[in-house]
Each structure stands twice: as C-alpha cells, then as structure tokens.
Structure 1
C-alpha cells in the first residue's frame, strides 16, 4: 500500500473512493479486494496508517477493547479470526502482559493499539488476494474537504490540493468523538479540556489536583486509565446526566434467543418488559443476567428500523441511558480501577446537567452544572477538565469541512432523530429531497440513525461485506 504520486490522479477515474480509513474504511477496502474482478480503490485518510482511526490509534496498553477477543473478529465469516490471530501474535511475543490475565485467549481484552495492528494485517492479507486479480488499494494521506456529485460519479477536493474523480464514493468517516471534534455553537469546552487519551499532557497536572470529568461512559473509563498511568493520585469528580456507570463485561453462558421466538415484540416498551422478564428468569436459575441481554443485540437493527419515530424518541429519552450502561460494558481491568477509586474515596459520581464552562483562571478551570434535584446552577472548579461525553452523531453540530459541505449542498440529510445521515437499507445516501444516490454510499457510525447499533466491530464488518458485494456488482 502506498501514497500515490499526484500525477496519477488528473486523468484517471477511481472505481471506489473510500472517505475515511479507520476500521470502517479498512474493512470495506479489504472486502472489496476479496471480490472477483479488477478495480482500483483509493482510501483518503489523514492518519499515517489505515485501520486504526480514532478508536485504535491508542498507544497506551491500558486502553483496551471493551469486548473480548471472541466478540471482535473483523471477518464476518470467521468469529474466531481475532482469537486465532492473537494466539499467533502472543506466541511471537507481541503481548507478554497477556499472561497476567490467566484466561483463555478468546476471553482476553487486547489493547486497542494491538487490535489496530490486527486490522492492518487483515487489510494487507486482502491486498495480496486482490493483487491476484489486478485489484489495488492506495492510501492518500489527506482529508476530504468537499464533494460534488455529477453524471459520471463524484469529484472530491482534498485538503492537500488533490482533486479525485471516482465512479462511486463511500462515506466511512467513522466516529466524531466529542473530545476531539470541533462543535458548532460550542461554548469553549474543547479549548478548556484535556484529551481523555493524552497521558503525556496529564503528566503535567498537579498529581494531587482535583480533576473534573464530564460524562460517565466508556470514555470516562479511558480517562481514568490515562490519569492512573500519568501518575495522578488526587480526587476525581465525574458528572453525567443520569450518573450511570458502564457495567463490567462478564462471560455469561448462552441463553435462548427469546426475541426470535416472539416476533410480536416490536415497541421499546414491549422490549423492556420482555428483557426484564428474561433477566428475572435467569437470576432465579442462578444464571448471570447478562446472558439474556447478550441475545438482544442481533435484533436491534430490525427493532430500530421497524419502529416509528415516536417509539424511537421514547427509546432515546427513557431507555437509552440504561441501554448504554448495560450493553456498552467496560473491560474488567478498567472496571477494577473504577471500583478501586470508588472504594478509596478518590472518585465521586454525581448526576448533573451540563450548563457550560467558565474561563480558565490561572491553574483552575470552572464549570457550571445543575445537580439533580436542584434548580440553581452550581459552579465547580478543578485543576483540569476532561470531556468524556462520547460521540457526536449529529452532523449538523460537527464543525468539520466535509459534513458542512455535504449538508449545505443538500447531498445528505440528517438521519432519524438527527443521528448520523439518512440512507436506504443498502447504504445509498439520501439527499435533501429523499432521493437515493447511485454513486454515494455510507457505512458504519454515519448510519447510527438507520440501525442504532452501527459502531461495533461485528456490526461494521457485516455492513462492509454487504456493501462490498453491492459495489462489486455495479
């Protein structure tokens, strides 16, 4: 895989242009390379390596996957693919710390940086396979600033000056994390906060200083790990709207797929009632209640897509915080650190509504909150502030050139409940008039509004395979 020379672009047309080379873009490229036929694939990604993206560029070993190896295969046809790769990798000495966990390889939670190596290796394997039929993949290390659709495909303008022409393009932009994404209409939060994954910056803090964290999900766990590795030993205050924490991921036994047996379950209320009944049944039998919960995930896309907008709003308003807490679980090491900090009294979790950030004064930063049960605004100060509010899915609030351009040109429209962008079931993007594009597609996190769960490795792997097959036929 190589950075192509500028002269290769002006008079050539790319078969498939992939915008974004994180995990989504890399998996799509790998699946396209496995398809019969000869095609030229170009991936535009500003990072120096494909396959890592935002999530898997982490370098600290403490930042691990939140799913064990058996759940994280990038090959939809082989659920044991990551387990098999890890076995070879550990035998070669690449992860000696794995021996400390003393569990089968399938139950290990690898560092995210190591998972990025795995994704890159699988793309390299696919590149060899594609080469046999004349297919190629090129990495252009830049960012797409603008895109136009014409009668013969798409034309994109890159930040480095390249203009590319392609028969088809795919928006595989991945996740816009709140901590690293400029937000339209923001009140200075990004300028006042530390990156949750920047251990080197945290080493500059007063080790005993009070740290404030906004958000209590998985990014907060990462922030705690970063602070620990940076040598921070002071108090930590975490604020979130509901004050809920991620559950630890356990390894429950298998459970009957009760939703497959009861197709009448359709609404969020029916789903919640059925799940609660199954959890009570599991507990009565001495079975981990995560067992019935784990059977729900394969049905989420169907349940979400067939729900009305009213039912979706009900789910987001009333069920979403508990869904996130129960299903987006923490790896055991992170959960153990969280529990230890709570027991030591260094960590406090408080339910509060975010109101804004005050100007940084000297070595302190102040934030405004409304604590649960109170009407007045409370000001809290600390030595540092970390934004752990997860992912920004509303493209209208993302201050980046490509989302702004696509929305302004009417080439895309917000997805259901303003989550990501709208597309048809095959991934063809819908424009402002609701027309499905013949040359612009999307996959992964941008389709959150279509399928709800569109970020997990297994979800994206299945989308990549289906979209590659569709593109290969065209």
Structure 2
C-alpha cells in the first residue's frame, strides 16, 4: 500500500474516485470492501496516523489492553463470523501471541489484545489490496488531517492540513470515535490538560507507586486505565468517581436463548423492552442459566428499535436506561474484570457515585478536583497525585474542537443526529445537511451514525455498514 506523507502546499488538485476521511477500523474496512468489488477505482484514505486499520481503538501496544468481545464476536468479515477465530488459529499456530495460553479457553472465546486485532485488520486490508490490484484498483494512504470540505455538483473537494487538495466523486466520513480523554473540547473544563492518558503506561511509571490516583468515569475506559496502572507498577489507592457508580459487568459466554424480540414485534418502546427483558432474565436465572443469555439476543434488534422510537422515547432511554445498558451490555474482558474485582476486594480501588464539578487549585502538588457525591447537596474537594479522564466517548460533534467537525457544522453541511449523537444521515449513510436535504456525494459510517442506530461502533456493525456502503458507492 502506498503512503503519501505530508508535503508542500500545492495549487494542484489530486483526483480519485472515492475519498475516505479516517483510516481506523471504519475507513480500512470500507477500503477493503471497495477493493474486493469488480471494477477499477482509485481510493484515497486520509488518516494522520502512520498506519491504517488501527485508529484510536487498536493503536494500544500493551497486551493487557484487550478487546471487550471474544474472537467469535469480532469478525471484520460480515459474511464469515468465524474470520477472526480462523485468523487467530493460524497466527497462534505459527508462534504469534504466545501469551494466549493465559486464557484457558477455546480460540473462539479468546479476548485478543487490541494491538493484535489491529494487525488482523491490516492483514485483511492487504489481502483486499491484492484482490483489487487484479482489477486495477488501488488504495493510497494520504497522511494528513482533513480541515475543510466543499461539496460541488459533481464532486467533493477536501483541503488537508498540509495544504493539499483532493477531489473525488464520493467522500465518506469514517472519522471513528472521539475519546473524551484525547479529544479537544470546544467548551473545555481543562480536564484533559490536567489528566493522564488512560493508556499511557510510560507516564504512569513516573508516579509514586504508592500515591493516590483519581479517575473520572467508571466504564470500559476506566477498566483500561486500571490495567495501565497495574502494568506501570502502581500499588496505591485508586479513587473512581462516576455519576451512577456502576461498573461494567464481566463478559461471559452464556448459552443461546430464544430470540424473543424476533417473535414479538409489538415490543417497541424502551419501557416495553426493559419489562420484557427483565422477565426473560428472571426466567433464565430460575433455570440456572446466565442472565447474559437473554440480554445478548437484544443486540441484533437495537438498530430497528432505536430507529422506530420517537425522540421522547429515545430521551427516556438515554436518561433512565443508558447507564445500566452500558454497564450490562458493554462488558469487560475477563482478565481485566478480574483485576478490577481483586483491587476492589483489597480496598485499593473504590467506586463512588459522584459528579465531577471541576478542577481546583492544588498548592501541594498533584491535582485536586471538586465533586458532589450522590445524595449530597454540598460539593467537596478530593486530592490525588494524578488524575485520569475515563469518561468515555464524545459523540456530540458540537463539542469536538477539531477543524473538520466544526467546519461541517458551521457551514451547515451536516447537522447533529438525534439527541446530538453524531450526525444525521439517511438509511444508506448519505449525510443530511442543516436543512435536512440528503447529500448525493457525502456519506458517513460507523460511530458518526450513533444517533441513527444507537449501536454503530462495534466491529460487526462497522463491517456490515462497510459492505453495504461499498456496494452503494460503486453502483
């Protein structure tokens, strides 16, 4: 795969058939699907990172930062759910990932390191490139950031951070996720500037091993942060603050359960869903079956349920159900969950239901934050040697202080999605502008469509969207 580095600004405009903005999982999978389709086409993937296929999620280098789904759930091939399992089987057999024996389970139930998953994605992209070469198709990595976009009658033109200009018949926003811990905020509290990166083990090694570390947020990013601290040799107290004080449940491998939503389409509202789901979970427990079994059947229906819900029902779900949905559905990999449970049992890790209210001056070094514990009217100040922002993903593009999202919103080329989650689009991914008109040449996929489908970030979601969108773009 060719890789074009940043260069001198030029008045020349490079042309291609399809431009993909973002080269993480979404962009890489779309490129792979385009390369596998018959026909000759040139695809440019604009991504500032040195490698395609990794993005934020799969750039982790520590073995302890694993996928939160087992191999059987994480295939990038929408036509072969066993693709990752098959790849891992061959990879392990040839000496790769020797640490896999620490998980005494079949390969399909392994939770691979996220960095290794990035290698898998890259290999599948390279294989697609070989297929595309037979048809004269190419994909090129343009290493820069897109800072502006112009939609014309017959093309879309991009302006890059290095002054380059690109033009293509179609452009796809495959920007992936904006982690709150790494994303500049338009209205910033200064939290990120004062906080350690949850995945920066090297920085954590500089801390006093016995010092107190404060963490904002108790979801999967917090789990990663605790793993990072452990690998850095930290042995002191860890104080976790989140509004609801909920921890992710550990992911298990439950038996199959009846797909009750496929059998009963009268279940439409969040209230109906939760009532019926609780009934099935109680029934499963009474039979000695893991409650995760009925919960896992819901996953395939979330897009339908979310898209047919009213805005009022969606708000009810986000306000009243979301924290419990996230902790029960977006579950922790077993080894990471075991670490969190052990530290919690030892008293080193404490989870407190409290809201973060801001930073406070600290005269004695370290960092101080103001919080308000649930049920209390008054705020208080908590001090630690370091602070980690583990508040998850920022889906509201209005808050993301990056050039492209701000330009697209300011000029009305996109509009926020339902409940300001991502951006609005038609069913086929065609972006809606501020007036609600459907774009002919600008599309989106993956996390930017969170508001359209609710679950639009998982590997299987992205893989399915990539296949459908690729077919749409080459018609």
* TM-score with structure 1 setting the length: 0.98
Q: Secondary structure at the match of 2:305?
A: helix
Give the alignment partner of residue 73 of structure 2, picking from 71, 74, 77.
Answer: 71
Give the alignment partner of residue 211 of structure 2, picking from 209, 212, 224.
Answer: 209
Q: Distance in 2 between matches of 1:177 and 1:133?
A: 38
Give the alignment partner of residue 304 of structure 1, picking from 306, 313, 317.
Answer: 306
Contact 1:10 1:163 in 2 (8 A): yes
Q: Secondary structure at the match of 1:454?
A: coil
Per the TM alignment, residue 438 of structure 1 is displaced from its structure 2 partner at its CA by 0.3
Contact 1:9 1:164 in 2 (8 A): no
Per the TM alignment, residue 362 of structure 1 is displaced from its structure 2 partner at its CA by 4.6
Residues 329-381 of structure 1: per-residue CA shift (max 9 Å, x gap): 00000000001001111010000111111235452101111101101111111
Contact 1:202 1:227 in 2 (8 A): yes
Pairing 1:247–2:249 present: yes
Per the TM alignment, residue 36 of structure 1 is displaced from its structure 2 partner at its CA by 1.1
Contact 1:371 1:377 in 2 (8 A): yes
The equivalent of 1:337 in structure 2 is 339
The equivalent of 2:198 in structure 1 is 196
Residues 112-140 of structure 1: per-residue CA shift (max 9 Å, x gap): 00000000000000000011111100000
Q: Distance in 1 between matches of 2:162 and 2:205?
A: 34
Q: Distance in 2 between matches of 1:127 and 1:361?
A: 56
Q: What RMSD in Å do the two structures reach over aligned CA positions?
A: 1.2
The equivalent of 1:33 in structure 2 is 35
The equivalent of 1:2 in structure 2 is 2
Q: Distance in 2 between matches of 1:361 and 1:240?
A: 25
The equivalent of 1:389 in structure 2 is 391
Contact 2:13 2:164 in 1 (8 A): no
Contact 1:300 1:453 in 2 (8 A): yes
Contact 2:147 2:404 in 1 (8 A): yes
Q: Distance in 1 between matches of 2:303 and 2:328?
A: 17
Per the TM alignment, residue 161 of structure 1 is displaced from its structure 2 partner at its CA by 1.5
Give the alignment partner of residue 289 of structure 2, picking from 270, 287, 304.
Answer: 287
Q: Secondary structure at the match of 2:319?
A: helix
Q: Secondary structure at the match of 1:13?
A: strand
Contact 1:243 1:351 in 2 (8 A): yes
Residues 386-419 of structure 1: per-residue CA shift (max 9 Å, x gap): 0000000000000000000000110000000000
Per the TM alignment, residue 67 of structure 1 is displaced from its structure 2 partner at its CA by 0.2
Contact 2:408 2:414 in 1 (8 A): yes
Contact 2:4 2:143 in 1 (8 A): no
1:5-84 alignment to 2 at 5 Å?
10=12, 12-84=14-86
1:24-423 alignment to 2 at 5 Å?
24-423=26-425
Q: How many residues align?
A: 473
Contact 2:13 2:165 in 1 (8 A): no
Cα distance 1:325–1:244, how it changes in 2: closer, same or farther (>3 A)?
Answer: same
Q: Distance in 2 between matches of 1:343 and 1:265?
A: 40
Q: Secondary structure at the match of 1:295?
A: helix
Pairing 1:458–2:455 present: no
Per the TM alignment, residue 9 of structure 1 is displaced from its structure 2 partner at its CA by 9.5
Contact 1:16 1:40 in 2 (8 A): yes
Give the alignment partner of residue 425 of structure 1, picking from 427, 430, 447.
Answer: 427
Contact 1:423 1:430 in 2 (8 A): yes
Q: Distance in 1 between matches of 2:432 and 2:102?
A: 49
Per the TM alignment, residue 94 of structure 1 is displaced from its structure 2 partner at its CA by 1.4
Contact 2:242 2:354 in 1 (8 A): yes
* TM-score with structure 2 setting the length: 0.98
Per the TM alignment, residue 102 of structure 1 is displaced from its structure 2 partner at its CA by 1.5
Per the TM alignment, residue 12 of structure 1 is displaced from its structure 2 partner at its CA by 4.4
Contact 1:192 1:360 in 2 (8 A): no
Residues 33-66 of structure 1: per-residue CA shift (max 9 Å, x gap): 1111111000000111100000000000000000
Q: Distance in 2 between matches of 1:373 and 1:285?
A: 37
Q: Distance in 1 between matches of 2:31 and 2:88?
A: 22
Q: Distance in 2 between matches of 1:238 and 1:472?
A: 49
The equivalent of 1:471 in structure 2 is 473
Per the TM alignment, residue 11 of structure 1 is displaced from its structure 2 partner at its CA by 5.1
What residue ranges of structure 2 are gaps of 5+ in the alignment? none
Q: Distance in 1 between matches of 2:164 and 2:228?
A: 37
Per the TM alignment, residue 472 of structure 1 is displaced from its structure 2 partner at its CA by 1.0
Contact 2:250 2:337 in 1 (8 A): yes
Residues 281-303 of structure 1: per-residue CA shift (max 9 Å, x gap): 10111111100000000000000
